[in-house]
Structure 1
Amino acid sequence: MHCQTCGADSSTVGACPRCGVSPDRPALSPGMPTFAVHGIGLAAAVGVGLTALLYTLVALAPALYVLLTPPGGGPDREQTPLVTEGLLSLLYTVVFLVTAVLVMVWMFRARKNTDAFPGGRKVLAPHWAITGWWVPVASLAVPCVVMVGIVRDSLDRVWLRVLVAVWWVAWLAFGVADLVTSLTEVGDRVRRAEQGLAPDLDHYRDAALRNSLPALACLVAAAALVAVVLRISAAQQARIDGAAWRVALLSSSGPAQLVTGPPPRVADPTVASPQVPPGPGGTIGA
């Protein structure tokens, strides 16, 4: 038996040994809306993984070009890497934008669901799951704070909090490293253009080395985020579905009983129940 609040093993009698919540407390607050997160969470996880893969290909395209180009190359050796990197960059941008929308929608839904979880400590309003990414300066911390709150109120585990920290540190490191490498790349190309030099193998080799750091940070951030999204999605969806199937049956002879199977079929209230013909002697059978 698992606690319906934090998911811990609560086979002991009384309050949950992890979160201290009584088993009598419902998994969801009555009347609070909830949102499905399994499908959007899976889509966001796939998008994050694909985005990281495409960025890695863009970052390592110069290295692949150096490895695959024979000495002397061909007449189009200077145009091939530019075209390939341009196409990959365009595809990466499209996938990144779609994935960003999916992640924001998932965070908003997951944060709204925590409002329906009794006992949660809400720090920021649900809209910060989206607006927190766009507000200058605040975007450096607000999404992480929102994610920590989602983890704490959904499935409080130390390793999940560590993954959130790893995700955010790697994400910030990726942003800084990507900006530095992009500026360095532009400066190097401008310098070569002023000197009348075309990009050579040394240029692409240096670019590949510079791009390795943001690529590594991108992969770490993506792996941590995918793990958090999938685990929280599964925990929230199980809690919501479990609460939906639990039906309290009240009887005059005892307390409510918990039903773990499908809810009983309820007859159509618009259909009149069949009437039993009265017995002899009136309706009381006298």
Structure 2
Amino acid sequence: MTEQTDQSAARTLAYRPVQAIGRLAVGGLLLAGLAWVVRGVWEIRLAVAGEPADGPPDQGDGVHRPLNSLENSYHLVTSAAGVLTFLCAMLFLSWLLRLRENARALSGDTPKYLGIWVFLGWFVPVVNLWFPRGIVVDAFRSSAPGRRLPGSVNVWWGLWLIGMTTGVGIMYRDSTDQIIERAYTEGWQLQLCDAFVVAAAVAGAFAVRAVTAAQVERMRAEQSAGTRVAEPV
């Protein structure tokens, strides 16, 4: 009995605060979504203004005409969106690592995915279609066995896949000048892509909140059952 208590206490000592980083990840996702809303507004402005008489910014063969004021401001908007998206990614990965560590301490089991996949799983072709979601699902099930996976997790991942597999939205490969040209000629497609990105960010925020809450609830249950935590959750 004493040995079991010591093992339980050792696992609890390994718990890491997850609620604060979860809130930061939620905030990062919502900020990234807001950044894409602003991008969408600028793309609508470009579409309404219409393409200048001297053609698109990227005129081919390495020739670029001078940008007008609206096009310059779109470059600034996309740069700011890129910074916020990078910040969001760092916060999300920090949360995912913390979630995974706590899930391992709660269950005592080895995670299904190696830690390196928390990072590489987003970039390696084919496996990036399911590894990131799988890491979240594995951590949730280890933290809250028997509980139903929050629907927001699947909604978030479905929207993310749309952006990734179609080469649009947050995973676009065009340069900013090429995006400007698309805003002039196919603005509705860009706005649809922006809508998917914003929806994915909002769904991701709900997913992070729900999964974090389930893990915090389990850790508090462990505490009330007689174990102790080294740091406040």
Give TM-score scaled by structure 1 length. 0.60
Q: Map 1:231-246; keep pairs closer than 5 Å.
A: 231-246=210-225
Structure 1, 118-127 or 141-150: larger mean CA deviation: 118-127
Q: CA deviation at 1:35?
A: 1.2
The answer for unaligned runs of 5 or more in structure 2 is: 53-66, 228-233
Residue 101 (structure 2) aligned to one of 101, 112, 116 = 112
Q: Give the AA of the match of 2:113.
A: L
Structure-2 change in CA distance of 1:180 and 1:54 (3 Å): closer
Matched, 1:166 2:155: yes
Q: CA deviation at 1:225?
A: 1.1
Q: How many residues align?
A: 203
Matched, 1:40 2:35: no
- Deviations, residues 42-77 of structure 1 (Å, cap 9, x unaligned): 00111111101112321331213455x59x9xxxxx
Contact 1:56–1:215 under 8 Å retained in 2: yes
Bigger Cα Rg:
1
Q: CA deviation at 1:166?
A: 1.7
Distance in 2 (alpha carbons) for counterparts of 1:128 and 1:154:
19
Give TM-score scaled by structure 2 length. 0.72
Q: Map 1:21-170; keep pairs closer than 5 Å.
A: 29-32=8-11, 33-66=14-47, 79-118=68-107, 122-155=111-144, 157-158=147-148, 160=150, 162-170=151-159
Q: Give the AA of the match of 1:230.
A: R
1:186 corresponding residue in structure 2:
178
Structure-2 change in CA distance of 1:116 and 1:184 (3 Å): closer
Aligned-partner SS, 1:173: helix
2:58 corresponding residue in structure 1:
none
Q: CA deviation at 1:140?
A: 2.5
Q: Give the AA of the match of 1:113.
A: N
Distance in 2 (alpha carbons) for counterparts of 1:60 and 1:150:
37
Aligned-partner SS, 2:33: helix
Distance in 2 (alpha carbons) for counterparts of 1:83 and 1:134:
31
Distance in 1 (alpha carbons) for counterparts of 2:175 and 2:183:
15
Which protein, 1 or 2, shows the higher relative CO under an 8 Å CA cutoff with sep ≥ 6?
2
Distance in 2 (alpha carbons) for counterparts of 1:183 and 1:96:
17
What percent of counterpart residues are identical? 23
Structure-2 change in CA distance of 1:187 and 1:65 (3 Å): closer
1:221 corresponding residue in structure 2:
200
